[in-house]
Amino acid sequence: MKAAYQATQNGTPPAHPDSLSTLVSELDIMAEFRRAGPNNPVLQSGSGPMFDPDDVAMLEFLNPATGSGPAVIRPCLAYHSPRAGDFIAEILGLWIEGGPQFLDLGNATDEIRRYFSDMLSTHVFRPKKQSL
């Protein structure tokens, strides 16, 4: 981390990110440092590269060398529900009330369909914990 700050900012890293903007700044610095020297020995650990392919993809998404990065998903905001994280409770609540439930995954990939179907069926069929 110190090497990244010295190479990109001629400075020293803060002790710990204390806000979202500080964290974003640190990720930007790491992305630029990795991009400038992906084979830099500082980016290696005893077990291999410091960043796995998913880490690199996220760094490149957040701080792209070209393109718009996170702004590319901005048009999808209209399709986001503030309750999206609680779709299981909503579906199961409707099911208990006897109301209709539809989970339209017709345009989703097989991987997405499996993910949501497995998540929902796990909640429906998992054994209830007995209280003592």
- pLDDT tens, per residue, the chain with 132 residues: 677 777 776 677 777 888 888 888 888 888 988 988 888 888 887 888 888 899 999 999 888 888 888 888 888 777 777 767 677 888 888 888 887 777 788 888 888 888 888 888 888 888 666 555
Q: How many CA atoms lie within 13 A of 77 on its CB side?
A: 5
**94 and 87 Cβ atoms separated by less than 8 Å:** no
70-91 burial, b at 16+ Cβ within 10 Å, e below that, comes to eeeeeeeeeeeeeeeeeeeeeb
DSSP state of 16: S
